[in-house]
Structure 1
Amino acid sequence: MARINLELNELQAFLAVAEKSSFKAAAEALYLSQPALSRRIEKLEQSLQVRLLERTTRSVRLTEEGAHFLLHAQNVVDELEQAMSGLSERAERRSGVVSIASIPSVAQHLLPAALAALTASYPALCLRVFDEGAQEVLEQVLAGHADFGINLIGAEDPNIDFEPLLTEHYLAVVRHDHPLATQRRLNWEDLVGERLIGVSQRSGNRLLLDHHLASLPQRPRIHYEASHLQGAYGMAEAGLGVLVVPELSLTPAYRHQLVGIALGKPAVSRTLGLITRSGYQPGPAAEQLRTLLRAQFAQYRARQAAD
């Protein structure tokens, strides 16, 4: 079997000249000087021991041998590019990492199903989830530690692209035996005098509530405070008072002891969305996860509309 002594850059140089019919245009397309391009063509012709191009001061055209070789050279380069693309995809599926930052309510309620679906396509992919508060989620995305995030803040940041997915209202959550548990709807004035359970003032939810309720003539007083919603839910399950939370956080796991009651006057809501660093393009696996999350949010919206 004859040894093939050709280099890929020589084939690419030949294809570029054949396409452009010009050494100058081909050199510009390949970001080469014309002498460097000429050396590649000469080396290719020496290896093949045939002349591939007829060159004059005004034009370049393929010889008969060059026209014959062009078809095979193009096929070789196309096949090699497809093989390299396939290897890149296989390598990503085998050893890639996708990192996502998410507020806890989404990480607990909607994210797991999307991760399970992604694993079906990328069975060996490493998945990393940062389930943090809103500010921490934003910082993880801005620092590049997460491919993207799900958050209620970031829309105003010039370095963040924010894609809204869901606008949800806040509920008053009480234990089933609480005096308010039979109510279908409450106003904020109905909670004056109740013992409220809240989360830390560093929480995105707490900041949002404080902002919206600052104008109320009378505001319910927070008697119990937890750093995270899990702790606050524990207090509500113990019957300590009324917890005000976004509706997504009231998962089925809590509903066996707790009931959520719609809140109005003023109605308070938050918008959740995908956040990505401006200009950042996630890889195929991360992009598929974003698509799966959009579908999960769409299904959740449909269920809420049906209830």
Structure 2
Amino acid sequence: MNIDHIEAFLYVVHYKSIHKAANALFLSQPTVTARIKSLERELNVDLFHRDGRSVILSDKGKDFLPFATQIVQTIQQGKKQLKETQQSDEICIGTNLVTAQYFLAYALPKWKESFPHMRFQIITGSTSVILEKLQSHQIDIGFIQYVHKEGVNNELLLSNAVKLVMHQDHPFIRHTLIKAKELAKQKMVFFECGAFDWNYVHKMFEVEGVTANIEVRTDHLEVAKALIRTQEYMSFLPHLCVKKELESGEFVEINVKHLLDMNQHIFLTYMKKDTLAPAFWEMILETAVQFENVQEKLD
């Protein structure tokens, strides 16, 4: 039974006119007439009595009316439910910029392969901003540094070494076993991406009784890189962000592992695990493992 034919029947009943029903449906009058006749043939009854231009609901039509109404209402409810389900399949992810640029750029195509119906909204910001949005249910999950808050859950997702880098033509003489006092004399740009605990860096200098010469703070990776390219600045940056520059020799790493062995830890942060389907949770964790394996092979 064609739902369009039933819908035409209900419109004619409502407007008591095939002409008016056709206008309301944005169809031609012959089309509506053909749909009514097709429905009558299928039911093997006359649904209307025709008197010139007037149409009067027959007794059989009256009997069929509540069923036709129920059928159309059920279809409409089903469409509404499907629409709401599709809308709920949009996942809002809060993350720092580095994770968005590198991990999500790798992960999203893979997620779409396995879950083609899903849509993604990406919001970048600091850990505090993402946490606030998570707690106010503006986002579903966050990829941020560890947070200790009641009701907030953290699962380790990624680890990324942090390197102290400078331009290959920077005048700083690269000795072995550099001292913090020597580094404190150098101009530094701090890249504040919302995923580092810079207290570790500050403590590295405090142990020696000196303060880092931080001339610039920025939350933009390309700004940090541009300042390094002036050959005046050095910066602690995630390895993934400077991998190409290190491989090409444009940037060089300053070995400070004897002073500080720092990693950028990214956690999958959420309020309730049932926010997303279990299969998708597993997909996120599997993709993170694949991503780190790929980076290790490239290294």
TM-score by length of 2: 0.60
> Larger Cα Rg: Structure 1 or Structure 2?
2
Task: Compute the displacement of 1:276 (Å).
Answer: 1.1
Find the partner of 2:209 among 203, 212, 217.
217
Find the partner of 2:114 among 104, 112, 121.
121
Q: How does 1:266-305 map to 2 (within 5 A)?
A: 266-270=259-263, 271-278=265-272, 280-283=274-277, 286-287=280-281, 289-299=283-293, 302-303=296-297
Contact 1:94/1:122 (<8 A) preserved: no
Task: Compute the displacement of 1:212 (Å).
Answer: 5.5
Task: Compute the displacement of 1:151 (Å).
Answer: 1.2
Give SS of 1:198's match.
strand
Amino acid at match of 2:164: A
Task: Compute the displacement of 1:288 (Å).
Answer: 5.2
* Corresponding residue of 1:245: 237
Amino acid at match of 1:102: T
Q: How does 1:1-307 map to 2 (within 5 A)?
A: 96-154=89-147, 156-180=148-172, 186-199=178-191, 204-207=196-199, 209-210=201-202, 213-252=205-244, 256=248, 257-270=250-263, 271-278=265-272, 280-283=274-277, 286-287=280-281, 289-299=283-293, 302-303=296-297, 307=299
* Corresponding residue of 2:61: none
Structure 2 CA distance for partners of 1:140 and 1:110, relative to 1, 3 Å: same
Let me know the Cα RMSD of the aligned residues.
3.6
Structure 2 CA distance for partners of 1:145 and 1:213, relative to 1, 3 Å: farther
Task: Compute the displacement of 1:229 (Å).
Answer: 3.1
Contact 2:160/2:238 (<8 A) preserved: yes
Contact 2:177/2:258 (<8 A) preserved: no
In structure 1, runs of 5+ residues without a counterpart are: 1-87
Task: Compute the displacement of 1:259 (Å).
Answer: 2.6
Contact 1:174/1:241 (<8 A) preserved: yes
What per-residue deviation string (whole Å, max 9, x for no partner) do you get for residues 36-88 of structure 1? xxxxxxxxxxxxxxxxxxxxxxxxxxxxxxxxxxxxxxxxxxxxxxxxxxxx8
TM-score by length of 1: 0.58
| CA distance in 2: counterparts of 1:91 and 1:141, whole angstroms | 22
Amino acid at match of 1:140: K
Amino acid at match of 1:197: V
Task: Compute the displacement of 1:187 (Å).
Answer: 4.5
Give SS of 2:185's match.
coil
Give SS of 1:249's match.
helix
Task: Compute the displacement of 1:169 (Å).
Answer: 3.7
- Range with greater deviation from structure 2 (184-193 or 218-227): 184-193
Structure 2 CA distance for partners of 1:203 and 1:276, relative to 1, 3 Å: closer
Contact 2:170/2:232 (<8 A) preserved: no
- The alignment of Structure 1 onto Structure 2 pairs a total of residues equal to 218
Task: Compute the displacement of 1:109 (Å).
Answer: 1.2
Contact 2:144/2:195 (<8 A) preserved: no
| CA distance in 2: counterparts of 1:92 and 1:254, whole angstroms | 46
Amino acid at match of 2:92: S
Structure 2 CA distance for partners of 1:125 and 1:169, relative to 1, 3 Å: closer
Task: Compute the displacement of 1:243 (Å).
Answer: 1.0
Q: Which structure 1 residue ranges, 4+ long, deviate > 6 Å from structure 2?
A: 88-91
Task: Compute the displacement of 1:174 (Å).
Answer: 0.8
Give SS of 2:260's match.
coil
| CA distance in 2: counterparts of 1:139 and 1:93, whole angstroms | 26
Task: Compute the displacement of 1:275 (Å).
Answer: 0.9
Task: Compute the displacement of 1:162 (Å).
Answer: 1.0
Contact 2:188/2:215 (<8 A) preserved: yes
Amino acid at match of 2:168: H
